[in-house]
Each structure stands twice: as C-alpha cells, then as structure tokens.
A and B are shown apart, each in its own frame.
Chain A
Amino acid sequence: MQNFPGVGVSPGRIIGTIRQMPKPISEPPAGQQLPAGVTPEDATAGLKAAAQAVHDELKARAAHATGDGKAVLEATALMAKDTMLLKGAAKLVARGVSSERAIWESGSSVSEMLHNLGGYMAERATDVLDVRARIVAELRGVPAPGIPSSNTPFVLVAEDLAPADTATLDPNKVLALVTAGGGPQSHTAIIARSLGLPAVVAAVGVDELPDGIEVYVDGAAGAITAEPDDSLRAAAEAWAATASLLADFSGTGTTSDGHLVPLLANVGGGKDAEAAAKLGAQGVGLFRTEFCFLERDTEPTVEEQAAAYKSVFDAFPGKKVVLRTLDAGADKPLPFLTDSTEPNPALGVRGYRTDFTTPGVLERQLEAIALAEKQSEADVWVMAPMISTAEEAARFASMCSEAGIKTPGVMVEVPSAALTAESILREVGFASLGTNDLTQYAMAADRQLGPLAALNTPWQPAVLRLVGLTVEGSRAEGHNKPVGVCGEAAADPALAVVLTGLGVSTLSMTARSLAAVAAVLKTVTLEEAQQLAKLALSAPSATEARAWVREKLPVLHELGL
C-alpha cells in the first residue's frame, strides 16, 4: 500500500480503479519545420490519417451518446476531417512547416474566422480548437485531451479541473475526484461537492499513478491509498451504509434550541434549482448567473436571460432566491466582458467591476431579472459580486431600483467590504459572504494553487474575524439587515456551526451538503455555537481552529463527516 496525503474537500470513502486525465496538449513551437527526410507529401498523408483517426473515434463516441451531446459529437467528428482545416494545413506543410504546427495554425485561423462570424458559429470556434488538439495528440501518439471515456465507473485523477470540464463529466461514470494540484476552494472541490463525489485535492504524486490501478479515496480525511487492503475495503463498505442515512433533510435548518438558520442552495441554473428543491433547500442563497452563459461568446439577449432566470425562480415559488449578477473574470472568463490578457486577473476587472469597462451588460441583466421576477412567484433578491466600497454599493442599489428590483445586496468577498460593512449596509438591504474569494484575498493566496492549500481555508482565524466584523457592521447599522454565507465554508458542517455562532443568519451551500449540515446544526444550542465560534477565533492557526471545534462536536465522527 502506498499513501498519498492530500486535502479532503468532499466527504466519502470509496474504492475504484483510476483513469488519468491526459495533460493538456502543448502548442507546437512557432516555426517548427518538417524533420529532415520527411517529404511534404508524407507529412500531409500522415496528417490525413491522424484526422481520420480522430474522426473515427469521435464518431464512435457519438454512436453511444444521446440528444444534444450526440449532435455536437457528430459535428465535431466531421470537423476533424474537414477540407477547410486540412487544406489550410497542407498549404503550410508544402512550405516546409511541420504537420503539428501546420494543423495548429490552420485550426487557429478557422477558429478565428468562426469567432468573427459571431452567434452560433462563434460558439463552435472552441470545437475547432478541441479537434485541433486531438489531431496533434494523435500525431504525437499521446492520449486525447479531456475527461477519458470509459464504459466502467472510475476514479478520475487530474492535475486540476476547469469549470468547462463539468459539462463533460458524467457523474454516473466517475466515482471520485483526485487532483495533484488545486486547493480546497478550487473548481475541482466545487464540482465534487455539487455532484456529491468524494474528492481529495493537492495530493502530490497521484498524477504519476498508472491507469487501472486500484485506490482507496477518503474525501473527509484527505487520504489516497494505492492497492488498498481489507481494512480499507471494510471502511468503504461502512461509508456506503452511512451515506444513505445522510440523504434526508427535513427542510428546516435550526439549532437544538430552535434558533432558525435557513439552509439554502447554491445553484447554477434551472436543473440545479429543481434538484435543490427536491433535496429540501429552503430557497436559493446563491444563483451563479454566469454559469448559464459560460459557453457563450456573445451577450445573451434580455429574453434569453429572463427565461434562464425564470427556470430557477419557478423551482422556488414563494421562497427566497438570491441571484448574483454576472461574476466574470479571473478563472471564469466571458469573452464579451473580460480581458484575458490582464497580468493579475484575480485583482483585475472582474465581477461588478466589468461594469466600468463594458457598461450596459449589467443594466440589461437587471432588466432581464426584473422581467423574470414579474412572471414568477419567487422572492427575488439581487447582489453584486466583488463590491469593495460603500460608493459601489450605493451605485448598484440605484441601478437595481431603476430596474424595479426591490432587494439589492452585495457580496462580501473583498476584505475592504467586510471592514466597512456598516457603511456598505446603509446602502443596500443585505450582504452575503463569499468565503472562497474572501479567503483568497484575506490570505493573499491564489485559490487555484495546490502549494497554498494550507493558507486557503476558511478556517483561518483571520477569515473568521472578517465574517464576525461583517455581522458586527450589520448590527451597528441598526436595521437588522441579513448577513448570510454562500461560500463553500457553509457546506462544512463544523464550520457551519461556527458561522452560526458568529451571527450569520443564513447558510447557502451545494444542495448535497444540506442534510449533513442540518444534522450537525441541530445537535448544538445557539449559545454552544457562539462558544465554538469564540474558540475558533482564539485559535492560533486554521489547523487548530478546525481541530478544536471538531473535538467538541462528536456527532461528526458518528456520522463519518
């Protein structure tokens, strides 16, 4: 047995065989020439054979797919052996350019042409780049990029996953996620929690394991063991039994003494919202509107947006739905809003700030939200991401009021917003703490970086202080304006107790975590939660804060959380 310690980000204990996610295909160097002794004719023939192989592989996958996925795969298969793509490459090869470089450049120009045509064509531009990468992989004799296809469920091992990988990740085929990089707040962690898959990140060395080897994954402890023994098999079986006990949530979040803490869901669209409603969510605490549009190259129309928003509102008639306006930038670029060449995107024009550089998009989004609200019965609240000052909060509130939106609010992700919560809350009706970004900015640690995983946890006493200061700001403001948490911190049952103790009024999380959080919350009184919050604040480190609180919550061990 070989052990790989990492950081557990989504609980569950499971045994399965691994499949490695192939490394991204690197760009063939500019100016790369045909090797000596290879004629352009041979190279072109080789290119055609590689293109045919990619075509055949995609076509075979299309045969097993259904619906939209099938149509996309069929069209992508045809692109692989498209004359426009291959003739462009053949011309370059005739001038002595290597076949890899030739198909790379031809793919770029075709993709750019589609991009410039806009609309549906622009959305296909990335398919051409995908096909290009597949052909280069074929020429190099390395595995094609993307999540491996397999007929049997497997443990997916990767360097890290991107939001775009979610679309192609089949939760029926993937048993657990393990990454060598990434931190507790990385996209891998978010994807894993939303799919209810056990996951471990920052497990150095796992990307060297061969495909097909059996591993044991413990997503709570953050451990991976290759070639597990019988005791670990027994642990995996015991988890399967516990998991079924944690499947139910009564639909009311409360402490043991009846202090109500509504438990809400984080959703990315209508399907998520329906699933969350079925799992008992008391509303939506974070509707990430950009997820409706991540694949888009152009701004969706007001009508398209309104339809997407209404699909979420309709899942929660009469209940609260907190919608976050487009949060593009940094790790979630949207071509119509963000500049991908910024040297420091996390500190760049992102979130609410895109309204400085691309005015109009936010205004039209607010119009679409108001339109969708009129046609639905949900209680709609709207908040802006990345607010740093009271002045920005005031401007956002006035934009909302012009659009006819009754309850404007802000995300507290920038430490300056937590520190000036009192003046910010004078301008808006509520605040919601985005603990992922708040942690990244408070600790000055990029949330995507594995080596900084230890800094990047919301258990950091400094982050908990900022949460406390935001609640104090609201109290000082005097109108009892709600302060919720909608970051990943709310999904950690022990941390949820601490947040409740700090005075947070609602907790919003991936719907899969609702039952676990509710089960732990109802074992403590509000006063006990307040004491645990004090204990965590007094800890000298994140590790101790977590350990001290967990020690006082024996229910966690009983439930395997």
Chain B
Amino acid sequence: MPERTATIASRSGLHARPAALFAEAAGNAGVDVTISMQGEPADEALDAASILSLMTLGAAKGDVVVLRADGDGADQALDALVTLLETDLDAE
C-alpha cells in the first residue's frame, strides 16, 4: 500500500483551520486516506477525512505523520496531501 511521511508545518499543529483544510482535502481525494503518528501500527491509523479524528491525533508542529491510501490515483492523492501538511496553513 502506498504511504508517505510528512512533517506538520502549521504553527498551531493539525488543529483548527489547518485540520479543517486538510480533512476537506482528504475527503475530496477520491481514495480513502488514513493518518497515524510515525511509529504507530497501521491498523490503528485514523480516517484522514475526519476532522474529529485529526483533533484526537493531536499532531503538533514538527511532528511526523504517516499517510496511507490504496487504489487508483493513491500516489497522486498522497503527494498532494503531503504538500498541504508541509505548508504553514496558519500563515495564509
């Protein structure tokens, strides 16, 4: 299964506005994307399109997360989502 790691760039972490923007993008990705903290087992990964799951993940700025997806277009979708996580969305 394709997977990527990304370092959270937003100052407030994956909360508030960055979490909302990311959840929305993951929901529109066309494939089911999961997210977990680096080092956590894949079967405990959370739904990346769920803003509530993202909040419970509690990823802060500088934390490394793992994104996973399967199916047609998974690689492209993951690349786009990594770019989003590695942008400081609070600065916009």
Residues of A within 8 A of B (CB): 71, 74-75, 78-79, 82-85, 110, 113-114, 117, 120-121, 124, 128
Which segment, of B35-43, B47-55, B63-71, B75-83, faces chain A?
B47-55
Residue of B47, B49, B50, B56 touching A121 (CB-CB under 8 A): B56
| B82 CB to nearest A CB, Å | 20
**Cβ contact within 8 Å between A117 and B56:** yes
With an 8 A cutoff between CB atoms, is B58 at the interface? yes
Which residue of A78, A110, A114 contacts B24 across the interface (Cβ within 8 Å)?
A78
19 other contacts beyond A75-B16, A78-B24, A78-B51, with CB at 8 A cut-off? A71-B17, A75-B17, A75-B19, A75-B51, A78-B20, A78-B23, A79-B51, A82-B23, A83-B47, A84-B50, A84-B52, A84-B53, A110-B52, A113-B56, A114-B56, A117-B58, A121-B56, A121-B58, A128-B52
Q: Which residue of A lies closest to B46 (CB)?
A: A84
User: In the complex, which residue of chain A has the Cβ closest to the Cβ of B48?
Assistant: A83
Residues from chain A with a CB closer than 8 A to the CB of B19 are 75
Minimal beta-carbon separation of A106 from chain B (angstroms): 10
Can you spell out 21 A-B residue pairs with CB atoms less than 8 angstroms apart?
A71-B16, A71-B17, A71-B20, A74-B17, A75-B17, A75-B19, A75-B51, A78-B23, A79-B51, A83-B53, A113-B56, A114-B55, A114-B56, A117-B55, A117-B56, A117-B58, A120-B16, A121-B56, A121-B58, A124-B55, A128-B52
Q: What CA separation (Å) do A113 and B24 show in the bound complex?
A: 22
When distances are taken between beta carbons in the complex, the residues of chain B under 8 Å from A114 are 52, 55-56
Most buried by A among B15, B17, B20, B58: B20
Secondary structure type dominating chain A contacts: helix
Q: 5 smallest A-B Cβ distances: which pairs?
A: A84-B52, A75-B20, A78-B51, A83-B50, A84-B50
Residues on A with C-beta less than 8 A from B16 are 71, 75, 120
A4 to B17, CA, bound (A): 46
CB distance from B58 to the nearest CB of A (A): 7
Interface contact tally, CB-CB below 8 A? 47
Question: Which of chain B's residues have a CB closer than 8 A to the CB of A82?
Answer: 23, 50-53
Q: Smallest distance from the beta carbon of A47 to chain B beta carbons, Å?
A: 16
- Closest CB of chain B to A453's CB: distance in Å? 42
Residue of A nearest to B24 (CB): A78
Question: Chain A residues near B50 (CB, 8 Å)?
Answer: 82-84
Closest Cβ–Cβ distance, residue B60 to chain A (whole Å): 11
> Inside 8 A of A74's CB, which chain B residues have their CB?
17, 20
Closest beta carbon of chain A to B32's beta carbon, Å? 10
CB distance B52 to A85 under 8 Å?
Answer: yes
Chain A residues lying within 8 Å of B20, measured Cβ to Cβ, are: 71, 74-75, 78
Q: A120 touching B52 by the CB < 8 A rule?
A: no
User: Residues of A contacting B47 with CB < 8 Å?
Assistant: 83-84
Kindly list chain A residues whose C-beta atoms are within 8 Å of the C-beta of B23.
Answer: 78, 82
B residues near A75, Cβ cutoff 8 Å: 16-17, 19-20, 51
- Residue on B nearest A59 in the bound complex, by CB: B24
Q: How far is it, in angstroms, between the C-alpha of A2 and the C-alpha of B23 when the chains are bound?
A: 52
Binary A-proximity of B6-21 (CB < 8 A = 1, otherwise 0): 0000000001110110
Chain A hits for B56, CB < 8 A:
113-114, 117, 121
Please name all residues of chain A whose beta carbon is closer than 8 Å to the beta carbon of B58 when the two chains form the complex: 117, 121
Least Cβ–Cβ distance between B22 and chain A, in angstroms: 10
Q: How many whole Å from A65's CB to the nearest CB in chain B?
A: 13
Q: Whose C-beta in chain A lies nearest to the C-beta of B52?
A: A84
Q: Which residues on B sit within 8 Å (CB–CB) of A113?
A: 56
Give chain B nearest CB distance to A130 CB in angstroms. 13
Q: What B residues does A124 contact at CB under 8 A?
A: 55
**A120 contacts which chain B residues (CB < 8 A)?**
15-16, 55
Distance of A342 Cα from B55 Cα, bound (Å): 32
Give, as a whole number of angstroms, the nearest-CB distance from A87 to chain B.
8
Q: How far is the CB of A445 from chain B (nearest CB, A)?
A: 43
Q: How far is the CA of A83 from the CA of B50 in the complex (A)?
A: 6
Cβ of B68 to closest chain A Cβ, rounded Å:
16
Q: Bound state CA distance, A83 and B46, in angstroms?
A: 10
Q: From residue B16, how far is it (CB to closest CB) to chain A in Å?
A: 7
Q: How far is the CA of A78 from the CA of B47 in the complex (A)?
A: 13
What's the nearest-Cβ distance from chain A to residue B84, in Å? Answer: 15
- Interface core residue of B20, B52, B56 (most chain A CB under 10 Å): B52
How far does the Cβ of A73 sit from chain B's closest Cβ, in whole Å? Answer: 10
Report the minimum CB–CB distance from A129 to chain B (whole Å).
13
Closest to A75 in B: B20
**How far, in angstroms, from A224 to B55 measured CA to CA in the complex?**
47
In the assembled complex, the Cα of A39 lies from the Cα of B23 at a distance in Å of: 31
* Smallest CB gap from B49: residue in A: A83
Q: Which residues of A contact B55 (CB under 8 A)?
A: 114, 117, 120-121, 124
Interfacial chain B residues near A85, Cβ < 8 Å: 52
Residues of A within 8 A of B17 (CB): 71, 74-75
Inter-chain contacts of A78 with B (CB < 8 A): 20, 23-24, 51
Distance in angstroms between the alpha carbons of A110 and B53 in the assembled complex: 10
Distance, CA A71 to CA B15, complexed state (A): 11
Taken together as a complex, chains A and B put the C-alpha atoms of A121 and B51 apart, in Å, by 11
Q: Which residues of B contact A84 (CB under 8 A)?
A: 47, 50, 52-53
